[in-house]
Amino acid sequence: MTLSLFDQFLSPVVCWIPLVAIAIILPWILFPSPTTRWMNNRNLTFQNWFLGQSTSQIFLPINPTGHKWALLLSSLLIFLTTMNTAGLLPYTFTPTSQLSINMGLAGALWMGVVILGMRTQPTHSLGHLLPEGAPALLTPILVIIETISLFIRPIALGVRLTANLTAGHLLIQLTSTATLALLTIMPVTAIFTGVLLFLLALLEGAVALIQAYVFILLLSLYLQENV
């Protein structure tokens, strides 16, 4: 039976029960829980340092009103980082490679940011639809263009994350298939493709971390415009 390259992105189902929820919840068990001790272990210290550094970098240009979103966005950063990197392990499933999950996250958070801007400062939020100093004849066209670009933002967030993860997984699968096929025919070439596979795995790990950070960074920029 010949399997398609995209079969790895199908949601696993056992007895007609989708296992996406288990794939999302299970990695959270690996995170260390806070303790009441004076001294933390290395894992908890690194986790606190990572959260502190990432949160300070993301919320540095945002005024104190937007700092209420720090807990939500930092939790989402850990969630995306965990899902992206856990999917690189053998015999695992990457939930963030599903466009429906990414679009659900991007759409809900983008809508929350837009509603927050309309409630707190509607004049400033609507002012982004018309650039300052635009000619009067181009006003209707510019408003339409800016409105379309506003509604494209959640689509771009979800598609960017899905496309980068999907492309990386496909490259790794193609390279690993070529390595196994060349192992008995051309062993020397198989060694080079194996090294390439290792480098691709490292690159995909970096992409998984970077894409999670970019997703949260763009959301923080949208939040900065509306608070």
Helix and strand tally (H, E) in the chain?
A: 7, 2
Which pLDDT value is given to residue 2?
45
- C-alpha to C-alpha distance for 166 and 160, rounded to whole angstroms: 10
Which pLDDT value is given to residue 34?
67
Say which DSSP state 69 is in. Answer: G
Do you know the residue count of the chain?
Answer: 227
196, 204 Cβ separation under 8 angstroms? no
Nearest CA to 48 among 210, 39, 221, 96? 39
- C-alpha to C-alpha distance for 153 and 110, rounded to whole angstroms: 8
Rounded mean pLDDT for each run of 10 residues along the chain, 227 residues in total: 60 71 73 68 78 82 80 86 83 81 90 86 76 73 84 91 87 86 85 89 90 90 83
Across-strand partners of 14? 17
Rg of the chain over Cα atoms, rounded to whole angstroms, equals 22
Which pLDDT value is given to residue 215?
92
- C-alpha to C-alpha distance for 130 and 140, rounded to whole angstroms: 9
220, 59 Cβ separation under 8 angstroms? yes
Which pLDDT value is given to residue 155?
92
Domain extents for the chain?
Answer: 14-226
Which pLDDT value is given to residue 135?
74
Which pLDDT value is given to residue 1?
37
Q: pTM for the complete prediction?
A: 0.81
- C-alpha to C-alpha distance for 220 and 72, rounded to whole angstroms: 11
- C-alpha to C-alpha distance for 181 and 169, rounded to whole angstroms: 18
